[in-house]
Amino acid sequence: MNSIVSILPYLQIIFSVLLIAGVLLQRSEAALGSAFGEDTWSSVHHSRRGAERALFIATIVLAVLYAVSAALAVIWK
């Protein structure tokens, strides 16, 4: 149990860096133009396929892992 507590901060750093990279690598269809009311019809009906879908799912998994590690850090301290 003590070894897990000592490794947890390093895991959180790794998860956070990977999570930031995953978010930044995703393609953004909602550019600045949509904030000013331009029609973004093509982005509404966009389905993820292939590597884009895998990156999306990996980002969700990393976010969950980061949240769990943060909750464990709070509980075990």
Rounded to two decimals, what is the model's pTM? 0.73
| pLDDT tens digits, one per residue of 37-76 | 555 555 556 677 888 999 999 999 999 999 999 999 999 8
Domain boundaries, the chain: 2-76
Whether residue 31 has pLDDT greater than 60: no
Extract the tokens encoding 22: 């995953």
Extract the tokens encoding 37: 């009311």
